[in-house]
Amino acid sequence: MSSPNSTHPTPAEAVRRGIRELLPATPGIFAWGLVTGVAMVKAGLDTGHAIVLSLLAYAGSAQLAALPLIAAVAPVWLVFVTAVVVNLRFVVYSAAVRAGFAHLHWHRRMWLGYVVGDIMFVRFSALRQNEPDYPHPVSYYLGGAVANWIIWQIASILGIVAAAVIPDSWGLELAGTLALVALLAPLCVRFPTFAGVAVASIVAILGHSLPLKLGLLLGMISGMVVALLLERRPEASR
């Protein structure tokens, strides 16, 4: 049997590799899911509704952004718009990985789109960049993305059930952020990526007080524009 790093891995080996390379981020994923589960209950949702929301809305940042509005009995349209704005980065993720999934039937692309997450997007992008000829990228993505979903749901449901005994002082949300930073840093070895991340960070921080989390959206767009402009320069390949 060939190893996962051999030149001709099987689809099953690609799935296992995707799972294996996602596992180091487990503490961050688990902590972020736990925080989101706790937040849903403390915002006023009962256990059943919180579990359904966790399973259907697989997006921690959108859930956390919408929860204060739900607790304040805000109009449904405002809750919806807020969740969409906060999660617009997934539109960018989808566009970035489109070439790797374009050959699949639409219903399979829909399923793969549901399980997309920040960490697996970064891992998949790194695979496409570092190993453009890898024979089973979809299997690799599927393995890691499903593992991410399972870890998240276990943590989120645990947080929902145990919300009454988990104190806010634990600061669990920091672990999820650190996990994303650890995955993002290796991609910054190329100057266009580093410049895009730097610009996105600065704009997002400056726009932190904007309503509907628009600072995140502006930061994302600004970072993309800068990275794309620099990518077009001949010296960017160095």
Position 233 pLDDT exceeds 80 = no
CA 26 and chain centroid, separation: 13
Considering only residues 217 and 110, tell me which one the structure prediction assigns the higher pLDDT.
110
Query: Can you give the pLDDT at residue 178?
Result: 64
Position 146 pLDDT exceeds 70 = yes
Q: Which of 48-57, 161-170, 178-187, 209-218 has the lowest mean pLDDT?
A: 178-187
Query: Can you give the pLDDT at residue 4?
Result: 47
- Label residue 238 by pLDDT band (50, 70, 90): low
Query: Can you give the pLDDT at residue 1?
Result: 44
Query: Can you give the pLDDT at residue 3?
Result: 46
Long-range contact set of residues 211-218: C-beta below 8 Å, sequence gap at least 24: 212/81, 212/82, 212/85, 212/86, 213/65, 213/82, 213/85, 213/86, 214/85, 216/86, 216/89, 217/85, 217/88
Structure tokens at 95: 């566009």
Position 157 pLDDT exceeds 90 = yes
Q: pLDDT per residue over 29-85, tens digit each?
A: 888 888 888 888 877 788 898 899 888 888 887 887 777 777 777 788 878 877 887
Considering only residues 161 and 96, tell me which one the structure prediction assigns the higher pLDDT.
161
Under DSSP, is residue 116 helix (H, G, I), strand (E, B) or coil? Answer: coil
**Rounded CA separation 102/95 (Å):** 10
Are the C-beta atoms of residues 82 and 213 closer than 8 Å to each other? yes
Considering only residues 130 and 64, tell me which one the structure prediction assigns the higher pLDDT.
130
Highest-confidence range of 145-154, 166-175, 225-234, by mean pLDDT? 145-154
Considering only residues 238 and 7, tell me which one the structure prediction assigns the higher pLDDT.
7
Query: Can you give the pLDDT at residue 35?
Result: 82
Place of tokens 């829909």: 110
Average pLDDT, the chain: 82
User: Alpha carbon of 200 to those of 5, 151, 212: distances in Å?
Assistant: 34, 28, 17
- Label residue 179 by pLDDT band (50, 70, 90): low
Q: What percent of the chain has pLDDT over 90?
A: 20
Q: Which of 95-109, 123-137, 210-224 has the lowest mean pLDDT?
A: 210-224
Q: Report which DSSP code applies to 211.
A: G
- Label residue 166 by pLDDT band (50, 70, 90): confident
